[in-house]
Structure 1
Amino acid sequence: MTSDSAQTGSGGSDAVASRLALAIHEHRIQPGAKLSEDEVGEIFGVSRTLVRAALQQLAHDRLVTLKRNRGAFVAQPSVREAREVFEARALLEPRTARSAAERATGADITRLQRHIDEEHAALADGDPGRALRLSGQFHIEIAAIADQETLREFITQLVARSSLIIALYWQRRTALCESHAHHALLKALEDGDGSRAEEMMKGHLLDLISSLDLRNPAPPARSLREALARA
């Protein structure tokens, strides 16, 4: 094993954290899965010290839970947490969409359209996990366009936690294919129609929560090595 200083160039703790977060957001690692320091280190070719630092970072972001004498696990939001997260999003994001509609430039619209195109490409490739990650990024981009940094930070955290919630409680997986919510949102932003953007976002978030079954969490799937094979 190489020294930590030698590893930082190709795989420091930030890089390990980013790669683990990507796999979590794309539902390749399921909530509740154990993240063994030794196994993660072996997969990425880094030391346990770097893995431990990465897991601490993910715990700070509430993507990972650290349990004394048991190790690290992908977080499993409770039903109560799931409701609270989406209630918070319903409070913040409609107003943010209104602000974004008032500020969006042509370049912003092009960037959002690119996200939608990439979502569709992921679905066409049979990769709903990647499509969901891109869908979450679409919401974060809207918050960035609104130019409200504090709200963007909150929404980024909420979207990350939403990824775990969807992995656990999503019952209507066809909703991704059925929904044209992002197209409607994009049109409202392009038209500079703040009121319509706000209403579209409200409806979209209500549709998301209605696609969840807050009773029966999905079981963990696949091995850690398989999940991280392309992280």
Structure 2
Amino acid sequence: MSIPDAIVSEIETNGEDRALAIRDQLRDAIMDRRLAPATKLAESEVGALFDASRTIARSALQMLAFDGLVRIERNRGAFVANPSPEEARQVFASRRLIEGGIATEACARIIPADVEVLREHLARERRFMNERGPHARRSEIKASGEFHLKLAEIGGNAILFRFMEELVARSSLVIALYGRSGVSRCGHDEHEELIEALAGRDAERAHGLILRHIDHIEADLDLAVTGSSSLKAALTR
């Protein structure tokens, strides 16, 4: 007896939802820098950790590969992307090209409610700065990246927002691999200056501030390579 099309569709949808959920958790672990560049992501281990089939695990890894966060090698498997120094430079060059335009567009579109959202987010970043422990530090790093995504959201261009999601995630990898200090250099004072420029609709100042801000983040890179971590440890912390 054949399986009704509606049931097949539900199975496929549930499988896709499971793959997306796994993708999101792995993506968070990569962006939070709990998974270091070059960490091996075996389909069998991913499936076992999430109680999912290898097919679903493979689908999740392929999604991450499409986002540029995972590298899949023939006969070797999947690994957290390990960007070269040149790729690191290209990430920040791309951010300069894109975020300058985003800041300009955000100035044209921003409303008082957006300014309030940005200020509330900045307050969250400061709270994480004042807390101690690895969880607080990871939260601070993630919040710093999210600030840039909020700017892209205010800019109102869905395509650029999608690009920024990928660039922020890749930036996190680059900082994990090459950052001198091992912490986010996404300065909170610079975020505050940028909010004031946006609130005043000063597009020229906002454009200059975002480029200077990206320069400061990149200036913390020293091209020193770090080792990889355990997949299981990263996901169970």
The alignment's TM-score, normalised by the length of structure 2, stands at: 0.87
Matched, 1:65 2:74: no
Residues of 2 paired with 1:141 and 1:178: CA distance? 16
Alignment match, 1:155: 164
Alignment match, 1:80: 86
The structure 2 residue matched to 1:109, chosen from 115, 139, 146, is 115
Alignment match, 2:152: 143
Aligned-pair CA distance for 1:167: 0.7
Whether the aligned pair in 1 keeps the contact of 2:177 and 2:225 (CA below 8 Å) is yes
Matched, 1:213 2:226: no
The structure 2 residue matched to 1:194, chosen from 187, 199, 203, is 203
Alignment match, 1:16: 22
Q: Which has the larger radius of gyration?
A: 2
Residues of 2 paired with 1:224 and 1:174: CA distance? 21
1:99-118 residue CA offsets vs partner (Å, 9 max, x unmatched): 21221112211222232222
Report SS of the residue matched to 2:37.
Answer: coil
Residues of 2 paired with 1:219 and 1:165: CA distance? 13
Aligned-pair CA distance for 1:129: 2.5
Residues of 1 paired with 2:158 and 2:176: CA distance? 27
Deviates more, 1:7-16 or 1:187-196: 7-16
Say if 1:205 and 1:192 are closer, same or farther in 2 by CA, change over 3 A.
same
Whether the aligned pair in 1 keeps the contact of 2:179 and 2:220 (CA below 8 Å) is yes
Whether the aligned pair in 2 keeps the contact of 1:11 and 1:46 (CA below 8 Å) is no
Residues of 2 paired with 1:48 and 1:27: CA distance? 24
The structure 2 residue matched to 1:120, chosen from 126, 140, 148, is 126
Aligned-pair CA distance for 1:10: 11
Alignment match, 1:167: 176
**Structure 1 residue ranges without an equivalent (≥5):** none
Aligned-pair CA distance for 1:177: 8.3
Residues of 2 paired with 1:177 and 1:55: CA distance? 28
The alignment's TM-score, normalised by the length of structure 1, stands at: 0.89
Whether the aligned pair in 2 keeps the contact of 1:102 and 1:193 (CA below 8 Å) is no
Say if 1:225 and 1:68 are closer, same or farther in 2 by CA, change over 3 A.
same
1:166-218 residue CA offsets vs partner (Å, 9 max, x unmatched): 1100003466486411111111111221111111101100100101112x112
Aligned-pair CA distance for 1:226: 1.6
Report SS of the residue matched to 1:217.
Answer: coil
Aligned-pair CA distance for 1:97: 0.7
Whether the aligned pair in 2 keeps the contact of 1:175 and 1:211 (CA below 8 Å) is no
Residues of 1 paired with 2:75 and 2:140: CA distance? 36
Say if 1:9 and 1:111 are closer, same or farther in 2 by CA, change over 3 A.
farther
Report SS of the residue matched to 1:228.
Answer: helix
2:43 partner letter: E
Aligned-pair CA distance for 1:7: 9.8
Residues of 2 paired with 1:195 and 1:100: CA distance? 12
Alignment match, 2:4: none
Aligned-pair CA distance for 1:119: 2.2
Aligned-pair CA distance for 1:66: 0.6
When the two structures are aligned, how many residues end up with a matched partner? 225
Aligned-pair CA distance for 1:93: 0.7
Matched, 1:44 2:53: no
Whether the aligned pair in 2 keeps the contact of 1:31 and 1:74 (CA below 8 Å) is yes
The structure 1 residue matched to 2:234, chosen from 203, 227, 230, is 227
